[in-house]
Each structure stands twice: as C-alpha cells, then as structure tokens.
C-alpha cells in the first residue's frame, strides 16, 4: 500500500513538473522537438551560432524559434531587432532572412550604417522601408516582450539555445552550452 501511495505521489509530482514548463520552452503545435534561441544581432557568438542552428533545424526538419534579446552594451542591436520586427510584419521568413543578413554583415554594421544595410535588404527583397520604421512603438514593444520573456527564463547571455520537446517525462528542454553538442543534444532529446 505504501509503495503504491509513494508511486502515485511521484507520478503526480512528475506530471505537475511537466505542466510547469513555460510555453516558450515547448515546441510549436504539430512539432515534437524544436530549437529555441535568444539572440542579439550585434553579438559575435550569435553570428557564429546562427548558421549552425539554422542548419540543424533543416537537417532535423524541426522549427527554430528565434527571440530577440538585445544586450544593453551593444549600441545598435536594439534598432536592428526593431527593423527585424518590421520585416517580420511582412513575413516571419523575411524577418529571419534580415536577421541572417545582419549577422553576415555584422562586422561592417555600425550605428550610422545600419539603416543603409536595412535599405539594401529591403530593396533586394522588393519591400519598402519607411523613413520611420516604428512610428507607434509596436515593434519595440515586441522586442521588449521577447527580452522580458528571456529574463523570466533566466536568460543572461546570448546566444541562449535550448532544444525543447513536447515530452512529459525526462527533460523537456535542454540548454546547449557547447555548440559542438547541438546535434547530440537534439538526438538525445528526440530519444527521450
């Protein structure tokens, strides 16, 4: 009787633990595994990680969910994230392409050249870039919401990369601290 009661308590604890996983650390509906990334467009490590994370998503055919997390010490990352949100408003794929484009040119971007890079990207993609990208502050609010979400998840560095799963047992999300372990982490999460 005691063992059965202990087992029941353990089962309830595990199910409540699985329910306590924040929605941001769950894959989107229809996916069993995903990669969640909090990134800063001015962060050199994010620039190096972005192509590898994208490739892992393509290789495993799993979604990559990108969140903006501009760090205060970077002098143009917030404006770049706001511009990315503008392109997101046309399509999420376009916004992510802009993020990748900024990463590709990160070493050439400065506060006074960011607008020129955004204009070239817009022109190349046949999208008009308005003189004032965020007149109502809507895109800045979206970036700040992502940053607040990251803070609520104790994000304190970029990139912060998690492999997340819809599993109820085991570890439903695992942070990838060593990028060379990304594929192994995806494999391990998929096997759970």
**4 belongs to a structural domain:** no
**In the predicted model, is pLDDT for residue 28 greater than 60?**
yes
- Give the domain CATH number at 30: 3.40.30.10
**In the predicted model, is pLDDT for residue 2 greater than 90?**
no
pLDDT digits (tens, 9 = 90+) for 177-188: 999 999 999 999
Q: Give the lowest-confidence range in 33-37, 117-121, 135-139, 170-174.
A: 170-174
**79 belongs to a structural domain:** yes
Question: How far, in Å, CA of 47 to CA of 179, rounded?
Answer: 12
Question: How far, in Å, CA of 160 to CA of 56, rounded?
Answer: 15
**In the predicted model, is pLDDT for residue 35 greater than 70?**
yes
What does the pLDDT read at residue 20? 66
What does the pLDDT read at residue 171? 82
Per the structure, the complete domain to which residue 82 belongs is given by 25-191
DSSP code, position 107: G
What does the pLDDT read at residue 170? 76
Q: Give the lowest-confidence range in 13-17, 47-51, 98-102, 160-164.
A: 13-17
Q: Give the lowest-confidence range in 9-18, 31-40, 115-124, 153-162.
A: 9-18
What is the mean pLDDT of the segment spanning 44-69?
97
**139 belongs to a structural domain:** yes
**In the predicted model, is pLDDT for residue 3 greater than 60?**
no
**12 belongs to a structural domain:** no
Strands 64-68 and 33-39: parallel
Phi and psi, residue 50, nearest 5° = -55, -50
Q: Is 177 exposed, middle or buried (0-12, 13-18, 19+ CB in 10 A)?
A: exposed
How far lies 158's CA from each of 29, 49, 62, 63, 128, in Å?
A: 26, 10, 21, 19, 30
The domain tally of the chain equals: 1
Contact in structure between 65 and 96 (CB atoms under 8 Å): no
**5 belongs to a structural domain:** no
What does the pLDDT read at residue 114? 98
**20 belongs to a structural domain:** no
pLDDT digits (tens, 9 = 90+) for 130-173: 999 999 999 999 999 999 999 999 999 999 999 999 987 778 99
**154 belongs to a structural domain:** yes
Other beta carbons less than 10 A from residue 32's beta carbon: 12
**131 belongs to a structural domain:** yes
**In the predicted model, is pLDDT for residue 6 greater than 50?**
no
pLDDT digits (tens, 9 = 90+) for 14-24: 333 444 678 89
What does the pLDDT read at residue 13? 38
């Amino acid at each position: 009787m005691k063992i059965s009661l202990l087992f029941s308590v353990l089962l309830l604890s595990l199910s409540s633990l699985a329910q306590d996983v924040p929605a941001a650390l769950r894959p989107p509906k229809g996916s069993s595994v995903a990669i969640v990334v909090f990134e800063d467009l001015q962060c050199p490590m994010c620039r190096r990680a972005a192509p590898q994370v994208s490739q892992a998503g393509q290789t495993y055919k799993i979604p990559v969910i990108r969140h903006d997390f501009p760090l205060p010490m970077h002098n143009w990352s917030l404006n770049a994230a706001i511009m990315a949100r503008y392109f997101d408003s046309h399509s999420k794929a376009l916004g992510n392409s802009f993020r990748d484009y900024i990463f590709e040119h990160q070493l050439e971007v400065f506060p006074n050249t960011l607008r020129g890079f955004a204009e070239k990207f817009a022109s190349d993609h046949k999208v008009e870039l308005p003189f004032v990208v965020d007149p109502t502050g809507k895109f800045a609010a979206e970036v700040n919401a992502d940053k607040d979400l990251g803070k609520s998840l104790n994000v304190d560095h970029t990139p912060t990369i998690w492999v997340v799963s819809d599993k109820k047992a085991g570890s439903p999300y695992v942070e990838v601290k060593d990028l060379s372990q990304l594929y192994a982490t995806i494999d391990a999460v998929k096997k759970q």
